[in-house]
Chains A and B, each alone.
Chain A
Amino acid sequence: MSIENPRLILSVEDLTVSFDGFKAVDGLNLYIAPNECRVIIGPNGAGKTTVLDLICGRTRATSGSVEFKGMELLKMREDQIVHAGVGRKFQTPSVYEDLTVFENLEISYPRGYSVFGALAFRRTAEVRERIEEVAEVIFLSDHLDQKSAHLSHGQKQWLEIGMLLIQDPQLLMLDEPVAGMSVAERVKTAELLNRIIADRSVIVVEHDMKFVEEIATRVTVLHRGKLLAEGSMAHVQADPDVIEVYLGH
C-alpha cells in the first residue's frame, strides 16, 4: 500500500525513533483511511504518544516515512504539517491561559499565519461568526470573554478541541481527550467527539476502554513501540497477545 491508494489519508511505514539506543517506536506501520476513527491503545510506555509526536513533527523520527495526502511529513516543519491539514491535541489541556476563550479560538483561526499576516489580521464579522459557531459546539458560548485560566479542566479540554475544530483539519489526533474528566463531562465529550469526527479522520490515544468502544472504527494495540494487534475492538480484545500484555502487567 502506498500514497497512490486514494483510500488512505495517512500511511506510516517502518517508523522508528530511538532515544540513545532505546527504541520508543520500532518499525511501525499504520494506515488510516478517510473518515476513520482509529484508537491507539497500549500499556504505559508503549509509545502511543510518541507516535502522535512523530506524525505531527514534534519529535524527529530516526527512520521511516509518514505520508499524508501524498506529502512526506517527516521532512516538514510543525506549522507546515498543520497547514497540510493535521491537527493535534495534547494530553494535558494545552490552552493559552493568559488569553480569553475568544482569543484562544481566534488564534487557531486558519488565517494570518505569517508574521505580517498576523499583524494585519482583522477581526471581521466572518471570523466572529465562525468563532461563535465553534464555541457553541464546544459548550463555551457563555465563556467567550473569560480568561481560559479560569475554565475547569474539562472546559479546557473542550476548548482545545474547539481550537482544532476551527482549523478544520483532515486528520485530527487526540491524546487522551477524556482523561481527568468527571463522568458528566465525559459523556458530553464523547458526544462532542462523535459529532466532530464525522467528516474527518481521527487518531485517538486513549486508556478508557468504554470510551474507546464508543468511538473506535478500528483499534491499534502498541507494545514496546511495536504493533501488537490491529482490528475491531472485539477482534483486539480477543487477541491472546493483547490479553497477555494487559494481564501480564
Chain B
Amino acid sequence: MFADYSWGELGSIFAMQGFAGLILFSVFVLMALGLAIIFGQMGVINMAHGEFMILGAYVTYLMSGLFQTWLPGLFGIYFFVAMALAFVVAGALGMVVEWALIRRLYHRPLDTLLATWGLSLILQQTYRSVFGAREVGVTVPSWMMGSLPLTNMIEVPISGLFVMVLTIVIAAGVYLLLYRSQWGLQVRAVMANRTMAEATGINTGRTDRLTFGIGCGVAGVAGSAFTMIGSTGPTSGQLYIVDTFLVVVFGGSASLLGTIASAFTISQTQSFLEFFLSGSMAKVLTLLAVVGVLMLRPQGLFTLKLRK
C-alpha cells in the first residue's frame, strides 16, 4: 500500500500517525486518571464516571455562553476558568455521592458498580431534562482551534497539543498529590490498612470523600477538555465507559504508572491498527487484544507481586 508514496510523504504520515496516537494516548490518560484514582485507591468501580466527565463538559458549555454574553473580552481564556469550575463542580458532586452512596458500600464492590450505574442513569436524565436531549455545541476560543503547520504535510492540531499538555499537568498533579502530599500519604495509608490508619488518627471517612471527590473532579476536567474534540450530550458519557475501564484494569489497578503505560499501549495499538484496517475492525482487534492479555495476566500490566 505504500508503493505510491515518496519517502518524504511516508515519513510525514508516520509522524502524523504517531502524533495521532499520542493524542489518543492523552485522551485515554485523561479519561482514565480519575477512574484510576477511585478504583486504584478505593476499589470502587464508578460506572457514572462518564457522566461526571459530561458534567464537566456541560459546565464548560455554560461558561462559554456566560462569557460570550457578559465577558466577551475575556472569551479567549474562559476555557481555563471553565476547567477549574468543572473540577470544582464535578468534585463537589462526587463528594456528595460518596457521602450519600459510596461510603455505605465499601465492602461490596460489585454493588457499588450497580449503584453507580443507577446514578449514571439519573444523571443522564437530569442532563436531558436540564439541557435537552440534543447535543449542545460548545464554542471554543479561536486560538485553540486549527493547527500549527510544521511542514506542508505535517500539521499539529492545537486542540491535540492542548490535551497533551493538560494530560501532563494533571498527571503530574495527581502524582504529586498522591505521593508528595499529606493527603496522598493518608490515602495510601487508608488503602494499605484501614484499621491501622484509623488507629493512627486518620479520618478515613474524610479521606475517602476527598479521594472520590478528586477522582470525579479530574473526570470533570477531562470532560471539559473533551468539548474540544468530542460531543456533549446527555448520553455522550457512555461512549467512554468501556475504553476507560479497560485502560484502568489493563494498567493494573494500584498504579498510576500502570494506567499511563496501559493507555500508551492501547492507544498506540489502536492507532496503528486503524491505519491499516477499517476503524471498526481496529477497535474490535484492540479490545480483543486487551481482553486477551488480561486473561493471560489478570493483574494487569503493572502490579506489584504481593503476599496475599
Chain B contributes a number of interface residues (CB within 8 A of A) equal to 5
Is A50 within 8 A of B304, CB to CB? no
- Does A59 sit at the interface, judged by CB under 8 A? yes
- Does A19 sit at the interface, judged by CB under 8 A? yes
Decide if the interface of chain A is mainly helix, strand, loop or mixed: mixed
A60 to nearest B CB, angstroms?
A: 10
- Does A101 sit at the interface, judged by CB under 8 A? no
* 10 further contact pairs, Cβ within 8 A, besides A24-B307, A58-B308: A19-B304, A19-B305, A19-B306, A19-B307, A20-B304, A20-B305, A50-B307, A53-B308, A59-B307, A59-B308
CB contacts between A and B, total, < 8 Å:
12
| B-chain residues with CB within 8 Å of residue A24 when the two chains form the complex | 307
Residue of A nearest to B306 (CB): A19
Report how far A24 CA is from B306 CA in the complex, Å. Answer: 11
| B-chain residues with CB within 8 Å of residue A20 when the two chains form the complex | 304-305
| A-chain residues with CB within 8 Å of residue B308 when the two chains form the complex | 53, 58-59
B54 to nearest A CB, angstroms?
A: 39
Report the 5 A-B pairs with minimum CB-CB distance, sorted nearest first.
A19-B305, A20-B305, A20-B304, A19-B307, A24-B307
Chain A contributes a number of interface residues (CB within 8 A of B) equal to 7
| A-chain residues with CB within 8 Å of residue B304 when the two chains form the complex | 19-20
User: Contact flags (1/0) for B279-308 with A, using CB distance below 8 Å?
Assistant: 000000000000000000000000011111
Q: Which residues of B contact A (CB under 8 A)?
A: 304-308
Residue of A nearest to B307 (CB): A19
Interface positions of A from 10 to 38, Cβ below 8 Å from B: 19-20, 24
Interface positions of A from 40 to 94, Cβ below 8 Å from B: 50, 53, 58-59
Can you identify 12 A-B contacts, CB atoms within 8 angstroms? A19-B304, A19-B305, A19-B306, A19-B307, A20-B304, A20-B305, A24-B307, A50-B307, A53-B308, A58-B308, A59-B307, A59-B308
B305 to nearest A CB, angstroms?
A: 5
| A-chain residues with CB within 8 Å of residue B305 when the two chains form the complex | 19-20
Report how far A157 CA is from B304 CA in the complex, Å. Answer: 32
| B-chain residues with CB within 8 Å of residue A53 when the two chains form the complex | 308
Report how far A181 CA is from B307 CA in the complex, Å. Answer: 26
Report how far A160 CA is from B305 CA in the complex, Å. Answer: 29
Report how far A20 CA is from B304 CA in the complex, Å. Answer: 7
B176 to nearest A CB, angstroms?
A: 24
Report how far A24 CA is from B305 CA in the complex, Å. Answer: 12
Residue of B nearest to A49 (CB): B307
